[in-house]
Amino acid sequence: MTILKIHSPLNPTKTDDVLRCILCAVICALILSGCASISHKRDILAVVDGEPITEADLEYSLDVAHRRENLSSAGDLNISQYLQKLIDERLIIQEARRMGMDEYPEVQKKIDAYILRESVMRLYEDEIASKVTVSEEDIVNFYKENYERLSLGIIEVDSKEDADKILAQLKNGEDFMELARKYSAYSHKNNNGTVTLRRNALSPALAAAVSGLKPGEITGVTRSGRKYYILKLMDRQEAPDDELPRVRKNIERAIRRQREAARSDEYLKYLREKADLKINREILASIDPSVKGAERERLLKDKRPLVELDGSILTVGEFAAMIPKNYMQPVKKILDNWIDSKLVDTEALSRHYEKRSPLKGMVFRYRNQVLMNTFIKEVLSPNVKISDKDLKDYYLSHKEDFLRPVRYNIQQITLKTREEAEDTLRSLQNGADFAWLAKNRSVDEAASRGGNIGWVAAHQLPGPAREIVKKLKPGEISPVLEIKPFYRIIRLQKKTGKEPYEFDRVKEAVRRRVFAEKYRELYDGYVDRLKQGARIKIYNDAVESFEKMFMK
């Protein structure tokens, strides 16, 4: 009995049709010795040993190669060349499967992590993002509330004790502004301690404190950060209508973030309620994460169950290992975060998004990418052999690729005004000594050295000087260059040629070049051998159609 294993990036809208076509083709090939081929579907560009390469596969490959969102702007790409690259990779991937690499634990671990990450994102979209809406009324109300202008008197002090004393004085009738000038550390105290700003520029604590005030009223003592405040509302002004269009998108994002956070809390509460969750509170209270040495080692080896969640068990030792050395959160908060994360992961995986489009196709392509990388790591890269002679030979025949940049030895004179600079340039043109003028007129730190700044590469010079210095001959002087806020004149004393770096300096760069060449030779040879026994069909009409669509 022959068992057929079909590995295919099936098109999401034509899964059953394509699968039937593949099965028919394979069966016909077995019975009629290869007299049939897979029926042509528009989205299939090629077939490699029974596995179709689709438009989606090619788009994914192009996206990975170019890391661009709008691939339609890349109309000069050679699509046929990229398709051939994809065919070569598919042959390698099939070879990796034949070698059993898809069963490697590290491969499966990467794929499982990818499925989990993508599933959680889809769960978030389904249960959080898609259930949050922001209306025009919401935006307008948020704008009116948070963008109103508040004129405030502000007293800021470092301690609650000082703030309480000042508040008592205010209640006894003393003038707010006098006390602000006398005691406040606020940066605007020289402006009588007042400031006008948008409500959303205040910290949440201060915004809440002034929310119900009427003009002339003061708050109680309010802490914000490490400071203590007393605020007096001088005036309120409605948010101006003409500013709303400019901040509309920011407001919509802010409202959405708030609502998604609230929906997330609500959904996590729901997951906890339906979960089979048991926490040993007594053990949790006894855990001291600050222990060190032998005590910490004992804690890490503690196998007692701390949490049981839907059949999963978290031991004391596993939990202790999760707590960072310089932990800032309470231990319970760290445990709550783990429980929430576990609940979300379990729920996301239970929905099996990976069995549905589009994630099904994404997982197939990611698995292929992992297999390709594994094959390179396990089979190809270890067989790239590089000797010291290879490195030396490559360096000697490619010295022009390892040249030092041209370097310039220059003097400069820096002046504050164009008039001074033009006058200095005329003096130089009339034969004045450059070093003498630099010492007596230049305002930069090189003046004491006669303007000599030593050897530099062009990229180390300010913009206006980079191109000028390349055109100067030794001994020549530049025109006046404006290098804000100053003006500069430079004189080229000497320059070097393009000399190659010493071998030891560039040895690692040479090694990378040699490795790339030998790897490509090995890769191409391997692919050529795989092609000899492969059945490859390219649908040129589909490729041309895709190319036209791609270049639109």
Q: How would you write 157-212 as a 3-class SS string?
A: ECCHHHHHHHHHHHHCCCCHHHHHHHHCCCCCHHHCCEEEEEHHHCCHHHHHHHCC
Q: What is the CATH number of domain 148-238?
A: 3.10.50.40
Residue type, 412: Q
Task: Quote the CA–CA distance of 124 and 112 in Å, as a whole number.
Answer: 18
The per-residue pLDDT for 191 is 57
Residue 199 half-sphere exposure toward CB, CA atoms < 13 A:
22
Rounded to 10°, the helix 55-66/79-98 angle is 100
- Nearest-Å Rg of the Cα atoms of the chain is 36
Contacts made by residues 122-129, CB under 8 angstroms, sequence distance 24+: 122/348, 122/351, 122/353, 122/359, 123/344, 123/347, 123/348, 123/351, 123/353, 127/263, 127/267, 128/260, 128/263, 128/264, 128/267, 129/260
Residue 531 sits at φ, ψ, to 5 deg, of -65, -25
The per-residue pLDDT for 419 is 95
**Which of helix, strand or coil describes residue 306?**
strand
Domain boundaries, the chain: 148-238, 277-350, 404-495
The per-residue pLDDT for 552 is 64
Q: How far apart are the first and last CA of the chain?
A: 50
The per-residue pLDDT for 67 is 52
Residuewise pLDDT in 10s, the chain (552 residues):
222 233 333 333 433 443 333 333 333 333 333 333 334 455 899 999 999 999 989 988 887 776 544 444 445 678 889 999 999 999 999 999 999 999 999 999 999 999 999 999 999 999 999 999 999 999 999 999 899 999 999 999 999 999 999 999 999 999 998 898 888 876 554 555 578 888 888 999 999 999 889 999 999 999 999 999 999 999 999 999 899 999 999 999 999 999 999 999 999 999 999 999 999 999 999 998 888 899 999 999 999 999 999 999 999 999 999 988 887 788 899 999 999 999 999 999 999 999 999 999 999 999 999 999 999 999 999 999 999 999 999 999 999 999 988 999 999 999 999 999 999 999 999 999 999 999 999 999 999 999 999 999 998 999 889 989 999 999 999 999 999 899 999 999 999 988 899 999 999 999 999 999 999 999 999 999 999 989 999 999 999 888 887 766
The per-residue pLDDT for 66 is 63
CB 53 within 8 A of CB 82: no
The number of angstroms, rounded, from the C-alpha of 458 to the middle of its chain's C-alpha atoms is 32
Residue type, 343: L
**Which of helix, strand or coil describes residue 376?**
helix
Question: Is the fold of 148-238 the same as that of 404-495?
Answer: yes
Task: Quote the CA–CA distance of 387 and 334 in Å, as a whole number.
Answer: 52
Structure tokens, 195? 């400031």
Q: Are strands 407-415 and 305-309 parallel, antiparallel or unpaired?
A: unpaired
Q: Is the pTM of this model over 0.75?
A: no
- What is 404-495's CATH number, 3.20.20.240, 2.60.40.10, 3.10.50.40, 3.40.50.620? 3.10.50.40
